[in-house]
Amino acid sequence: MNSGVITPRPPELRPDRVSFARSLLAEWVKFRTVRGWVIAMIIAVLVTVFLGIFAAGNVNIGCQNGPNGPVLTGKACVPNYPIGPGGEAVTDSYYFVRQQLAGNGSITVRVTSLTGLHGAGNAQAARQGPLAGMTKGVVPWAKGGLILTSGTKPGSAYAALMVTGGHGVRMEYDYTHDTAGLPGSVTATSPRWLRLTRSGDTIAGYDSADGRHWSLVGTAQLSGLPATAQAGMFATSPIYTVTTPGGIGTTSIQSGPSQATAVFDDVSLRGSWPTKTWTGNNVGKGPAAPGTGFGYFRRSGSAFTVSGSGDIAPLVAGPGAASPTSTFEQPLAGLFAGLIAIVVVAVMFFTAEYRRGLIRTTLAADPRRGRVLAAKAVVAAAVAFAAGLVAAILAISIGLPRQRNQGSYVLPVSTLTEVRVIVGAAAMVALVAVLAVAIGAMLRRSAAAVTVAIVVIVLPFLLAVTVLPASAGAWLLRLTPAAGFAIEQSIPSYPQATTVFSPAQGNYPLPPWVGFAVLCAWVIVALAGAYALLRRRDA
Protein backbone atom coordinates (compact mmCIF):
# COMPACT_ATOMS: atom_id res chain seq x y z
CA MET A 1 0.00 0.00 0.00
CA ASN A 2 1.37 3.40 -0.86
CA SER A 3 -1.23 5.51 0.83
CA GLY A 4 -0.72 9.23 0.58
CA VAL A 5 1.32 8.92 -2.58
CA ILE A 6 -0.32 10.05 -5.77
CA THR A 7 0.77 7.88 -8.63
CA PRO A 8 0.39 9.50 -12.05
CA ARG A 9 -1.93 7.64 -14.32
CA PRO A 10 0.08 5.48 -16.72
CA PRO A 11 0.04 6.87 -20.23
CA GLU A 12 -1.77 3.89 -21.75
CA LEU A 13 -4.79 4.70 -19.58
CA ARG A 14 -5.09 8.29 -20.75
CA PRO A 15 -8.78 8.77 -21.49
CA ASP A 16 -8.48 9.88 -25.11
CA ARG A 17 -6.45 6.83 -25.99
CA VAL A 18 -8.47 4.30 -24.09
CA SER A 19 -11.84 5.50 -25.14
CA PHE A 20 -11.44 4.87 -28.88
CA ALA A 21 -10.76 1.24 -28.01
CA ARG A 22 -13.78 1.41 -25.69
CA SER A 23 -15.96 2.96 -28.38
CA LEU A 24 -14.87 0.21 -30.71
CA LEU A 25 -15.68 -2.41 -28.11
CA ALA A 26 -19.06 -0.81 -27.42
CA GLU A 27 -19.95 -0.74 -31.10
CA TRP A 28 -18.73 -4.30 -31.59
CA VAL A 29 -20.89 -5.49 -28.71
CA LYS A 30 -23.87 -3.63 -30.17
CA PHE A 31 -23.27 -5.34 -33.48
CA ARG A 32 -22.79 -8.88 -32.35
CA THR A 33 -25.65 -8.89 -29.87
CA VAL A 34 -28.29 -8.06 -32.47
CA ARG A 35 -29.13 -11.51 -33.69
CA GLY A 36 -30.80 -10.32 -36.90
CA TRP A 37 -27.67 -8.49 -38.05
CA VAL A 38 -25.43 -11.48 -37.47
CA ILE A 39 -27.88 -13.72 -39.32
CA ALA A 40 -28.06 -11.17 -42.15
CA MET A 41 -24.27 -11.25 -42.53
CA ILE A 42 -24.33 -15.04 -42.74
CA ILE A 43 -27.13 -14.84 -45.31
CA ALA A 44 -25.07 -12.28 -47.26
CA VAL A 45 -22.20 -14.77 -47.48
CA LEU A 46 -24.44 -17.69 -48.45
CA VAL A 47 -26.35 -15.74 -51.10
CA THR A 48 -23.12 -14.40 -52.61
CA VAL A 49 -21.64 -17.89 -52.87
CA PHE A 50 -24.80 -19.56 -54.15
CA LEU A 51 -25.68 -16.95 -56.78
CA GLY A 52 -22.05 -16.69 -57.91
CA ILE A 53 -21.78 -20.40 -58.48
CA PHE A 54 -25.18 -20.49 -60.16
CA ALA A 55 -24.45 -17.59 -62.52
CA ALA A 56 -20.90 -18.55 -63.42
CA GLY A 57 -21.38 -22.28 -63.81
CA ASN A 58 -24.49 -24.06 -64.98
CA VAL A 59 -23.39 -24.01 -68.59
CA ASN A 60 -23.61 -27.01 -70.90
CA ILE A 61 -20.83 -26.85 -73.41
CA GLY A 62 -20.82 -29.30 -76.28
CA CYS A 63 -18.43 -29.59 -79.17
CA GLN A 64 -17.64 -31.78 -82.11
CA ASN A 65 -14.29 -32.43 -83.76
CA GLY A 66 -15.21 -32.32 -87.44
CA PRO A 67 -18.69 -32.60 -88.91
CA ASN A 68 -19.00 -36.35 -88.26
CA GLY A 69 -17.00 -36.69 -85.06
CA PRO A 70 -18.51 -37.76 -81.74
CA VAL A 71 -20.26 -35.05 -79.75
CA LEU A 72 -18.16 -34.20 -76.69
CA THR A 73 -19.16 -32.29 -73.62
CA GLY A 74 -17.52 -30.60 -70.68
CA LYS A 75 -13.79 -30.72 -70.10
CA ALA A 76 -13.10 -32.53 -73.38
CA CYS A 77 -14.16 -29.40 -75.26
CA VAL A 78 -11.54 -27.09 -73.80
CA PRO A 79 -8.75 -26.55 -76.32
CA ASN A 80 -5.18 -26.22 -75.11
CA TYR A 81 -4.55 -22.55 -75.47
CA PRO A 82 -0.90 -21.52 -75.77
CA ILE A 83 0.61 -19.60 -72.86
CA GLY A 84 2.63 -16.48 -73.66
CA PRO A 85 5.94 -15.40 -72.10
CA GLY A 86 4.09 -13.40 -69.43
CA GLY A 87 2.04 -16.42 -68.27
CA GLU A 88 -1.19 -15.25 -69.92
CA ALA A 89 -3.27 -17.37 -72.32
CA VAL A 90 -2.82 -16.19 -75.88
CA THR A 91 -4.08 -16.69 -79.40
CA ASP A 92 -1.09 -17.25 -81.66
CA SER A 93 -2.07 -18.24 -85.15
CA TYR A 94 -1.00 -16.63 -88.43
CA TYR A 95 0.54 -17.41 -91.78
CA PHE A 96 4.31 -17.01 -91.61
CA VAL A 97 6.73 -16.62 -94.55
CA ARG A 98 10.10 -16.99 -92.91
CA GLN A 99 13.85 -17.40 -92.99
CA GLN A 100 16.32 -17.92 -90.19
CA LEU A 101 18.17 -14.87 -88.92
CA ALA A 102 21.48 -15.76 -87.28
CA GLY A 103 22.58 -13.10 -84.79
CA ASN A 104 21.88 -9.43 -85.38
CA GLY A 105 20.33 -8.13 -88.55
CA SER A 106 17.33 -6.42 -90.04
CA ILE A 107 14.52 -6.87 -92.51
CA THR A 108 12.84 -4.07 -94.46
CA VAL A 109 9.74 -4.32 -96.67
CA ARG A 110 7.18 -2.16 -98.39
CA VAL A 111 3.51 -3.02 -97.80
CA THR A 112 1.29 -1.97 -100.67
CA SER A 113 -2.05 -3.41 -99.67
CA LEU A 114 -4.00 -5.09 -96.91
CA THR A 115 -7.35 -6.54 -97.95
CA GLY A 116 -9.64 -9.06 -96.34
CA LEU A 117 -12.65 -11.27 -96.32
CA HIS A 118 -14.94 -11.90 -93.42
CA GLY A 119 -17.87 -14.12 -92.60
CA ALA A 120 -21.33 -12.75 -92.01
CA GLY A 121 -21.67 -14.65 -88.78
CA ASN A 122 -23.66 -17.23 -90.65
CA ALA A 123 -23.06 -20.57 -88.96
CA GLN A 124 -24.59 -22.54 -91.83
CA ALA A 125 -22.23 -21.05 -94.39
CA ALA A 126 -19.25 -21.52 -92.07
CA ARG A 127 -20.00 -25.25 -91.89
CA GLN A 128 -19.73 -25.61 -95.66
CA GLY A 129 -16.13 -24.48 -95.72
CA PRO A 130 -13.90 -21.89 -94.11
CA LEU A 131 -14.28 -19.34 -96.90
CA ALA A 132 -17.89 -20.01 -97.90
CA GLY A 133 -20.27 -17.10 -97.73
CA MET A 134 -17.58 -14.54 -96.94
CA THR A 135 -17.85 -10.94 -97.98
CA LYS A 136 -15.08 -8.48 -98.84
CA GLY A 137 -13.84 -6.26 -96.07
CA VAL A 138 -10.88 -5.98 -93.77
CA VAL A 139 -11.54 -6.26 -90.04
CA PRO A 140 -10.05 -3.51 -87.82
CA TRP A 141 -7.40 -5.74 -86.24
CA ALA A 142 -6.41 -7.65 -89.39
CA LYS A 143 -2.62 -7.63 -89.41
CA GLY A 144 0.06 -7.87 -92.07
CA GLY A 145 3.73 -7.06 -91.58
CA LEU A 146 7.04 -8.22 -90.19
CA ILE A 147 7.57 -10.57 -87.27
CA LEU A 148 10.68 -11.80 -85.49
CA THR A 149 10.05 -14.71 -83.16
CA SER A 150 11.98 -17.23 -81.12
CA GLY A 151 10.14 -20.11 -82.82
CA THR A 152 7.02 -21.23 -84.61
CA LYS A 153 5.58 -22.90 -81.50
CA PRO A 154 2.43 -20.98 -80.47
CA GLY A 155 3.11 -18.82 -77.44
CA SER A 156 6.71 -17.99 -78.46
CA ALA A 157 8.28 -14.65 -77.59
CA TYR A 158 8.08 -12.29 -80.58
CA ALA A 159 8.17 -8.73 -81.78
CA ALA A 160 6.14 -7.61 -84.78
CA LEU A 161 5.66 -4.46 -86.79
CA MET A 162 2.51 -4.41 -88.89
CA VAL A 163 -0.13 -2.51 -90.75
CA THR A 164 -3.66 -3.14 -89.51
CA GLY A 165 -7.12 -2.92 -91.00
CA GLY A 166 -8.27 0.05 -88.97
CA HIS A 167 -5.61 1.04 -86.44
CA GLY A 168 -2.66 2.18 -88.60
CA VAL A 169 0.87 0.87 -88.09
CA ARG A 170 1.42 -0.94 -84.80
CA MET A 171 4.44 -2.38 -83.03
CA GLU A 172 3.46 -5.29 -80.84
CA TYR A 173 5.50 -7.74 -78.81
CA ASP A 174 4.91 -10.61 -76.42
CA TYR A 175 1.13 -10.42 -77.00
CA THR A 176 0.27 -7.80 -74.39
CA HIS A 177 2.35 -4.82 -75.62
CA ASP A 178 1.01 -2.57 -78.32
CA THR A 179 2.33 0.80 -79.59
CA ALA A 180 0.87 2.92 -82.37
CA GLY A 181 2.96 4.09 -85.35
CA LEU A 182 1.84 5.93 -88.51
CA PRO A 183 -1.95 6.29 -88.67
CA GLY A 184 -4.14 5.57 -91.67
CA SER A 185 -4.70 2.50 -93.76
CA VAL A 186 -2.38 1.23 -96.45
CA THR A 187 -3.17 1.50 -100.18
CA ALA A 188 -1.18 1.32 -103.39
CA THR A 189 -0.94 5.12 -103.46
CA SER A 190 0.05 5.41 -99.80
CA PRO A 191 2.19 2.35 -99.01
CA ARG A 192 4.06 1.84 -95.77
CA TRP A 193 7.68 0.84 -95.31
CA LEU A 194 8.40 -1.29 -92.25
CA ARG A 195 11.75 -2.26 -90.74
CA LEU A 196 12.52 -4.61 -87.87
CA THR A 197 16.08 -4.79 -86.52
CA ARG A 198 17.56 -7.17 -83.99
CA SER A 199 20.49 -6.20 -81.80
CA GLY A 200 21.00 -8.74 -79.03
CA ASP A 201 17.72 -9.12 -77.17
CA THR A 202 16.49 -5.70 -78.34
CA ILE A 203 14.18 -5.50 -81.31
CA ALA A 204 13.42 -2.09 -82.79
CA GLY A 205 10.62 -1.28 -85.23
CA TYR A 206 10.73 1.65 -87.66
CA ASP A 207 8.10 2.85 -90.08
CA SER A 208 8.14 5.23 -93.00
CA ALA A 209 5.64 6.62 -95.47
CA ASP A 210 8.21 7.21 -98.25
CA GLY A 211 11.06 4.73 -97.68
CA ARG A 212 13.53 7.54 -96.90
CA HIS A 213 12.43 9.21 -93.68
CA TRP A 214 12.17 6.63 -90.89
CA SER A 215 10.84 6.99 -87.41
CA LEU A 216 11.14 4.62 -84.45
CA VAL A 217 7.78 3.10 -83.49
CA GLY A 218 9.01 1.20 -80.46
CA THR A 219 11.57 -1.18 -79.04
CA ALA A 220 11.02 -4.54 -77.39
CA GLN A 221 13.23 -6.45 -74.97
CA LEU A 222 12.70 -10.16 -75.58
CA SER A 223 14.36 -12.26 -72.92
CA GLY A 224 15.63 -15.69 -73.90
CA LEU A 225 15.65 -15.05 -77.63
CA PRO A 226 17.85 -17.79 -79.23
CA ALA A 227 20.90 -16.79 -81.30
CA THR A 228 19.07 -17.91 -84.43
CA ALA A 229 15.56 -16.45 -84.62
CA GLN A 230 12.80 -16.87 -87.19
CA ALA A 231 11.93 -13.72 -89.07
CA GLY A 232 9.84 -12.75 -92.05
CA MET A 233 6.42 -11.61 -93.20
CA PHE A 234 3.07 -12.61 -91.75
CA ALA A 235 -0.65 -12.06 -92.19
CA THR A 236 -3.51 -12.84 -89.84
CA SER A 237 -7.06 -11.71 -89.18
CA PRO A 238 -9.10 -12.24 -86.00
CA ILE A 239 -12.67 -13.36 -85.52
CA TYR A 240 -15.04 -10.88 -87.08
CA THR A 241 -17.59 -9.56 -84.60
CA VAL A 242 -20.44 -7.14 -85.00
CA THR A 243 -22.22 -6.03 -81.88
CA THR A 244 -25.51 -4.29 -81.73
CA PRO A 245 -26.15 -2.93 -78.26
CA GLY A 246 -29.86 -2.92 -77.64
CA GLY A 247 -32.31 -3.10 -74.79
CA ILE A 248 -32.27 -5.28 -71.68
CA GLY A 249 -29.51 -7.84 -72.16
CA THR A 250 -29.96 -7.94 -75.92
CA THR A 251 -26.47 -7.08 -77.04
CA SER A 252 -26.57 -9.27 -80.10
CA ILE A 253 -23.27 -10.53 -81.39
CA GLN A 254 -22.47 -11.90 -84.80
CA SER A 255 -19.12 -13.52 -85.28
CA GLY A 256 -17.23 -15.62 -87.75
CA PRO A 257 -13.71 -16.18 -89.07
CA SER A 258 -11.98 -13.70 -91.34
CA GLN A 259 -8.94 -13.62 -93.59
CA ALA A 260 -6.39 -10.93 -94.40
CA THR A 261 -4.16 -10.68 -97.44
CA ALA A 262 -1.10 -8.42 -97.44
CA VAL A 263 1.11 -7.60 -100.43
CA PHE A 264 4.80 -6.93 -99.78
CA ASP A 265 7.65 -5.94 -102.09
CA ASP A 266 11.17 -4.46 -101.94
CA VAL A 267 12.22 -7.01 -99.33
CA SER A 268 15.76 -6.26 -98.17
CA LEU A 269 17.69 -8.25 -95.61
CA ARG A 270 20.78 -7.26 -93.60
CA GLY A 271 22.88 -9.56 -91.47
CA SER A 272 23.24 -13.30 -91.76
CA TRP A 273 20.24 -15.13 -93.26
CA PRO A 274 21.67 -18.67 -93.78
CA THR A 275 18.66 -20.49 -95.30
CA LYS A 276 18.40 -18.17 -98.35
CA THR A 277 14.92 -19.38 -99.31
CA TRP A 278 11.51 -18.37 -98.00
CA THR A 279 9.28 -21.06 -96.52
CA GLY A 280 5.65 -20.51 -95.59
CA ASN A 281 3.45 -22.29 -93.08
CA ASN A 282 0.41 -21.82 -90.86
CA VAL A 283 1.41 -21.25 -87.26
CA GLY A 284 -0.90 -22.46 -84.53
CA LYS A 285 -3.85 -23.73 -86.51
CA GLY A 286 -6.33 -25.97 -84.76
CA PRO A 287 -9.42 -25.94 -82.56
CA ALA A 288 -8.08 -23.02 -80.55
CA ALA A 289 -8.17 -20.84 -83.67
CA PRO A 290 -11.20 -21.51 -85.88
CA GLY A 291 -10.92 -20.66 -89.54
CA THR A 292 -7.13 -20.97 -89.57
CA GLY A 293 -5.31 -23.38 -91.79
CA PHE A 294 -6.23 -21.81 -95.11
CA GLY A 295 -3.34 -19.34 -95.28
CA TYR A 296 -0.91 -19.27 -98.22
CA PHE A 297 1.77 -17.20 -99.89
CA ARG A 298 2.58 -16.49 -103.52
CA ARG A 299 5.69 -14.93 -104.94
CA SER A 300 5.89 -13.16 -108.27
CA GLY A 301 9.19 -11.42 -108.89
CA SER A 302 9.94 -9.23 -105.92
CA ALA A 303 6.32 -9.19 -104.66
CA PHE A 304 4.94 -11.47 -101.98
CA THR A 305 1.24 -12.03 -101.37
CA VAL A 306 0.65 -13.45 -97.88
CA SER A 307 -2.77 -14.48 -96.65
CA GLY A 308 -3.69 -15.77 -93.21
CA SER A 309 -6.29 -16.04 -90.50
CA GLY A 310 -6.16 -16.04 -86.72
CA ASP A 311 -4.68 -13.55 -84.28
CA ILE A 312 -1.55 -12.79 -82.32
CA ALA A 313 -2.98 -11.33 -79.13
CA PRO A 314 -3.81 -12.10 -75.52
CA LEU A 315 -6.86 -14.31 -75.10
CA VAL A 316 -9.81 -12.58 -73.47
CA ALA A 317 -13.31 -13.64 -72.53
CA GLY A 318 -16.11 -12.97 -74.95
CA PRO A 319 -16.97 -13.65 -78.57
CA GLY A 320 -13.38 -13.17 -79.81
CA ALA A 321 -12.38 -16.46 -78.22
CA ALA A 322 -12.73 -19.74 -80.07
CA SER A 323 -14.48 -21.57 -77.24
CA PRO A 324 -16.23 -20.41 -74.08
CA THR A 325 -13.73 -18.71 -71.81
CA SER A 326 -14.32 -17.26 -68.42
CA THR A 327 -12.40 -15.09 -66.06
CA PHE A 328 -11.11 -15.78 -62.58
CA GLU A 329 -13.55 -13.28 -61.03
CA GLN A 330 -16.69 -14.60 -62.74
CA PRO A 331 -17.97 -16.51 -59.65
CA LEU A 332 -18.05 -13.17 -57.78
CA ALA A 333 -21.24 -12.12 -59.62
CA GLY A 334 -23.25 -12.98 -56.50
CA LEU A 335 -21.55 -10.13 -54.62
CA PHE A 336 -24.34 -7.82 -55.79
CA ALA A 337 -26.81 -9.79 -53.68
CA GLY A 338 -24.49 -9.97 -50.69
CA LEU A 339 -23.87 -6.22 -50.94
CA ILE A 340 -27.59 -5.47 -50.64
CA ALA A 341 -27.82 -7.47 -47.39
CA ILE A 342 -24.66 -5.82 -46.04
CA VAL A 343 -25.92 -2.35 -47.00
CA VAL A 344 -29.16 -2.99 -45.05
CA VAL A 345 -27.24 -4.07 -41.94
CA ALA A 346 -24.69 -1.26 -42.18
CA VAL A 347 -27.39 1.39 -42.58
CA MET A 348 -29.35 0.01 -39.62
CA PHE A 349 -26.16 -0.07 -37.57
CA PHE A 350 -26.50 3.71 -37.50
CA THR A 351 -30.19 4.42 -38.05
CA ALA A 352 -31.32 1.95 -35.35
CA GLU A 353 -29.70 4.33 -32.83
CA TYR A 354 -32.29 6.94 -33.75
CA ARG A 355 -35.23 4.56 -33.70
CA ARG A 356 -35.44 4.25 -29.92
CA GLY A 357 -33.33 7.21 -28.91
CA LEU A 358 -30.28 5.07 -28.13
CA ILE A 359 -28.18 7.72 -29.89
CA ARG A 360 -28.59 10.00 -26.83
CA THR A 361 -27.13 7.33 -24.55
CA THR A 362 -24.37 6.62 -27.03
CA LEU A 363 -23.41 10.28 -27.31
CA ALA A 364 -23.65 10.81 -23.55
CA ALA A 365 -21.20 7.95 -23.03
CA ASP A 366 -18.89 9.16 -25.78
CA PRO A 367 -19.47 12.86 -26.47
CA ARG A 368 -16.94 13.01 -29.28
CA ARG A 369 -19.30 12.46 -32.16
CA GLY A 370 -16.59 11.92 -34.73
CA ARG A 371 -15.26 9.09 -32.62
CA VAL A 372 -18.66 7.37 -32.50
CA LEU A 373 -18.88 7.62 -36.28
CA ALA A 374 -15.34 6.30 -36.64
CA ALA A 375 -15.97 3.40 -34.26
CA LYS A 376 -19.11 2.40 -36.14
CA ALA A 377 -17.33 2.70 -39.49
CA VAL A 378 -14.42 0.55 -38.29
CA VAL A 379 -16.66 -2.17 -36.87
CA ALA A 380 -18.87 -2.22 -39.99
CA ALA A 381 -15.81 -2.30 -42.25
CA ALA A 382 -14.17 -5.12 -40.30
CA VAL A 383 -17.30 -7.28 -40.25
CA ALA A 384 -18.05 -6.61 -43.93
CA PHE A 385 -14.44 -7.31 -44.90
CA ALA A 386 -14.53 -10.66 -43.11
CA ALA A 387 -17.86 -11.58 -44.71
CA GLY A 388 -16.64 -10.45 -48.15
CA LEU A 389 -13.40 -12.40 -47.82
CA VAL A 390 -15.14 -15.62 -46.79
CA ALA A 391 -17.73 -15.22 -49.55
CA ALA A 392 -15.14 -14.45 -52.24
CA ILE A 393 -12.89 -17.36 -51.28
CA LEU A 394 -15.81 -19.81 -51.13
CA ALA A 395 -17.41 -18.63 -54.38
CA ILE A 396 -14.13 -18.82 -56.32
CA SER A 397 -12.92 -22.09 -54.83
CA ILE A 398 -16.24 -23.80 -55.56
CA GLY A 399 -17.18 -21.93 -58.74
CA LEU A 400 -13.97 -22.17 -60.76
CA PRO A 401 -13.52 -25.99 -60.65
CA ARG A 402 -17.20 -26.31 -61.55
CA GLN A 403 -16.73 -24.05 -64.56
CA ARG A 404 -13.65 -25.99 -65.67
CA ASN A 405 -15.50 -29.29 -65.43
CA GLN A 406 -18.31 -27.90 -67.54
CA GLY A 407 -15.88 -27.10 -70.33
CA SER A 408 -15.16 -23.41 -69.86
CA TYR A 409 -11.56 -22.30 -70.20
CA VAL A 410 -10.64 -20.18 -67.19
CA LEU A 411 -8.10 -17.57 -68.29
CA PRO A 412 -4.96 -18.00 -66.17
CA VAL A 413 -3.72 -15.06 -64.08
CA SER A 414 -0.79 -14.64 -61.70
CA THR A 415 -1.16 -15.49 -58.01
CA LEU A 416 -0.68 -11.82 -57.21
CA THR A 417 -3.71 -10.97 -59.39
CA GLU A 418 -5.75 -13.71 -57.74
CA VAL A 419 -4.96 -12.27 -54.32
CA ARG A 420 -5.76 -8.75 -55.55
CA VAL A 421 -9.14 -9.86 -56.90
CA ILE A 422 -10.18 -11.72 -53.74
CA VAL A 423 -8.84 -9.26 -51.16
CA GLY A 424 -9.91 -6.34 -53.35
CA ALA A 425 -13.47 -7.66 -53.53
CA ALA A 426 -13.56 -7.99 -49.73
CA ALA A 427 -12.13 -4.48 -49.36
CA MET A 428 -14.75 -3.17 -51.77
CA VAL A 429 -17.49 -4.77 -49.64
CA ALA A 430 -15.96 -3.12 -46.56
CA LEU A 431 -15.92 0.29 -48.27
CA VAL A 432 -19.55 -0.11 -49.34
CA ALA A 433 -20.44 -0.91 -45.71
CA VAL A 434 -18.69 2.28 -44.53
CA LEU A 435 -20.49 4.24 -47.26
CA ALA A 436 -23.79 2.80 -46.02
CA VAL A 437 -22.97 3.71 -42.39
CA ALA A 438 -22.16 7.28 -43.49
CA ILE A 439 -25.35 7.57 -45.55
CA GLY A 440 -27.30 6.20 -42.58
CA ALA A 441 -25.71 8.82 -40.32
CA MET A 442 -26.58 11.59 -42.76
CA LEU A 443 -30.17 10.59 -43.54
CA ARG A 444 -31.06 8.96 -40.18
CA ARG A 445 -33.98 7.17 -41.86
CA SER A 446 -33.50 3.52 -42.74
CA ALA A 447 -35.62 3.30 -45.87
CA ALA A 448 -34.17 6.37 -47.54
CA ALA A 449 -30.59 5.50 -46.55
CA VAL A 450 -30.84 1.88 -47.74
CA THR A 451 -32.31 3.06 -51.04
CA VAL A 452 -29.61 5.67 -51.62
CA ALA A 453 -26.84 3.19 -50.80
CA ILE A 454 -28.24 0.46 -53.06
CA VAL A 455 -29.02 2.87 -55.87
CA VAL A 456 -25.50 4.33 -56.00
CA ILE A 457 -23.84 0.91 -55.89
CA VAL A 458 -26.06 -1.39 -57.95
CA LEU A 459 -28.09 0.83 -60.30
CA PRO A 460 -25.13 2.25 -62.30
CA PHE A 461 -23.97 -1.28 -63.04
CA LEU A 462 -27.51 -2.35 -63.94
CA LEU A 463 -28.01 0.58 -66.32
CA ALA A 464 -24.56 0.05 -67.86
CA VAL A 465 -25.21 -3.60 -68.68
CA THR A 466 -28.83 -3.26 -69.76
CA VAL A 467 -30.39 -0.05 -71.02
CA LEU A 468 -27.64 2.45 -71.71
CA PRO A 469 -25.41 2.52 -74.80
CA ALA A 470 -21.80 1.53 -74.09
CA SER A 471 -20.33 5.04 -73.95
CA ALA A 472 -22.92 6.40 -71.51
CA GLY A 473 -22.66 3.25 -69.37
CA ALA A 474 -18.87 3.61 -69.23
CA TRP A 475 -19.20 7.11 -67.77
CA LEU A 476 -21.50 5.81 -65.04
CA LEU A 477 -18.89 3.20 -64.12
CA ARG A 478 -16.20 5.87 -64.01
CA LEU A 479 -17.97 8.41 -61.84
CA THR A 480 -20.29 6.58 -59.44
CA PRO A 481 -19.29 4.43 -56.44
CA ALA A 482 -19.94 1.42 -58.72
CA ALA A 483 -16.49 2.19 -60.21
CA GLY A 484 -15.15 0.15 -57.30
CA PHE A 485 -16.18 -3.10 -59.02
CA ALA A 486 -13.16 -2.57 -61.29
CA ILE A 487 -10.97 -4.06 -58.54
CA GLU A 488 -12.37 -7.46 -59.56
CA GLN A 489 -11.07 -7.28 -63.14
CA SER A 490 -8.36 -9.92 -63.56
CA ILE A 491 -7.62 -9.67 -67.30
CA PRO A 492 -6.75 -6.15 -68.48
CA SER A 493 -8.85 -4.72 -71.33
CA TYR A 494 -6.23 -4.96 -74.10
CA PRO A 495 -7.22 -2.66 -76.97
CA GLN A 496 -5.67 -5.04 -79.50
CA ALA A 497 -7.77 -8.03 -78.37
CA THR A 498 -10.96 -8.47 -80.32
CA THR A 499 -13.95 -8.79 -78.05
CA VAL A 500 -16.92 -6.90 -76.72
CA PHE A 501 -15.79 -4.84 -73.78
CA SER A 502 -18.71 -5.05 -71.40
CA PRO A 503 -18.74 -5.00 -67.59
CA ALA A 504 -20.75 -8.23 -67.70
CA GLN A 505 -17.68 -9.83 -69.24
CA GLY A 506 -15.39 -8.36 -66.62
CA ASN A 507 -14.21 -5.27 -68.49
CA TYR A 508 -14.49 -1.98 -66.63
CA PRO A 509 -13.67 1.41 -68.12
CA LEU A 510 -11.19 2.23 -65.33
CA PRO A 511 -8.07 0.26 -64.28
CA PRO A 512 -8.62 -1.75 -61.05
CA TRP A 513 -6.90 0.58 -58.60
CA VAL A 514 -8.28 3.75 -60.15
CA GLY A 515 -11.83 2.39 -59.88
CA PHE A 516 -11.13 1.41 -56.28
CA ALA A 517 -9.82 4.93 -55.62
CA VAL A 518 -13.06 6.43 -56.99
CA LEU A 519 -15.03 4.36 -54.47
CA CYS A 520 -12.60 5.43 -51.71
CA ALA A 521 -13.16 9.07 -52.66
CA TRP A 522 -16.92 8.63 -52.38
CA VAL A 523 -16.52 6.99 -48.97
CA ILE A 524 -14.34 9.87 -47.75
CA VAL A 525 -16.85 12.45 -49.01
CA ALA A 526 -19.73 10.59 -47.35
CA LEU A 527 -17.83 10.25 -44.06
CA ALA A 528 -16.98 13.96 -44.09
CA GLY A 529 -20.63 14.80 -44.74
CA ALA A 530 -21.78 12.48 -41.97
CA TYR A 531 -19.24 13.98 -39.54
CA ALA A 532 -20.30 17.54 -40.35
CA LEU A 533 -24.01 16.77 -39.99
CA LEU A 534 -23.52 14.70 -36.83
CA ARG A 535 -21.65 17.58 -35.17
CA ARG A 536 -24.02 20.27 -36.31
CA ARG A 537 -27.35 18.58 -35.62
CA ASP A 538 -29.02 17.75 -32.35
CA ALA A 539 -29.25 14.03 -31.85
Distance CA 394, CA 386 (A): 12
Distance CA 274, CA 84 (A): 28
Tell me the per-residue interface mask from 496 to 525 with another protein, x by CB under 8 A, - otherwise.
Answer: -------xx---------------------
Residue among 220 and 453 whose Cβ is closer to another protein:
453
Tell me the closest approach of the beta carbon of residue 82 to another protein, in angstroms. Answer: 24
Q: Is residue 428 at the binding interface for another protein, with CB under 8 A as the rule?
A: no
Residue among 169 and 316 whose Cβ is closer to another protein:
316
Q: Is residue 372 at the binding interface for another protein, with CB under 8 A as the rule?
A: no
Residue among 458 and 526 whose Cβ is closer to another protein:
458
Residue 206, CB-side half-sphere exposure with 13 Å CA sphere = 16
Residue among 54 and 531 whose Cβ is closer to another protein:
54
Distance CA 326, CA 506 (A): 9
Residue 213: phi and psi, rounded to 5, are -95, 115
Distance CA 483, CA 303 (A): 51
Tell me the closest approach of the beta carbon of residue 59 to another protein, in angstroms. Answer: 4
The interface region with another protein, picked from 208-216, 277-285, 307-315, 444-452 by CB under 8 A, is: 444-452
Which residue among 124, 244, 300, 415 contacts another protein (CB under 8 A)? 244
> Angle at which helices 369-405 and 335-355 pack, to 10 degrees?
160
Residue among 363 and 468 whose Cβ is closer to another protein:
468
The helix (run of H) or strand (run of E) holding residue 478 is helix 470-479
Distance CA 533, CA 499 (A): 47
Distance CA 215, CA 205 (A): 9
DSSP-derived 3-state class of residue 186:
coil
The interface region with another protein, picked from 182-190, 279-287, 328-336, 424-432 by CB under 8 A, is: 328-336
Residue among 123 and 455 whose Cβ is closer to another protein:
455
Q: Is residue 252 at the binding interface for another protein, with CB under 8 A as the rule?
A: yes
* Spacing of C-alpha 511 from chain mean position: 9
Q: Is residue 479 at the binding interface for another protein, with CB under 8 A as the rule?
A: no
Interstrand relation of 258-272 and 279-283 (parallel, antiparallel or unpaired)? unpaired
Q: Is residue 202 at the binding interface for another protein, with CB under 8 A as the rule?
A: no
Angle at 467 between CA 464 and CA 471, to 5 degrees: 50
Sign of CA dihedral 159, 165, 169, 170: negative
Closest CA to 387 of 318, 339, 458, 441: 339
Which residue among 35, 471, 536, 538 contacts another protein (CB under 8 A)? 471
Are 82 and 284 a contacting pair, CB within 8 Å?
Answer: yes
Closest CA to 312 of 64, 72, 85: 85
Residue among 161 and 400 whose Cβ is closer to another protein:
400
Q: Is residue 35 at the binding interface for another protein, with CB under 8 A as the rule?
A: no
Tell me the closest approach of the beta carbon of residue 256 to another protein, in angstroms. Answer: 19
Which residue among 82, 257, 320, 334 contacts another protein (CB under 8 A)? 334
Say if residue 202 is exposed, middle or buried (CB neighbours under 10 Å; 0-12, 13-18, 19+): middle
Site for another protein in 449-468 (CB under 8 A): 449-451, 454-455, 458-459, 461-463, 465-468
| Total of chain residues touching another protein, rule CB under 8 A | 56
Alpha-carbon separation of residue 520 from 304, 385, 419, 483, 525 (angstroms): 56, 15, 19, 10, 9
Tell me the per-residue interface mask from 278 to 317 with another protein, x by CB under 8 A, - otherwise.
Answer: ----------------------------------------
Q: Is residue 179 at the binding interface for another protein, with CB under 8 A as the rule?
A: no
Sites of contact with another protein (CB under 8 A): 51, 54-60, 244-250, 252, 324, 326, 330, 333-334, 336-337, 340-341, 343-344, 347-348, 351, 355, 408, 445-451, 454-455, 458-459, 461-463, 465-469, 471-472, 475, 503-504
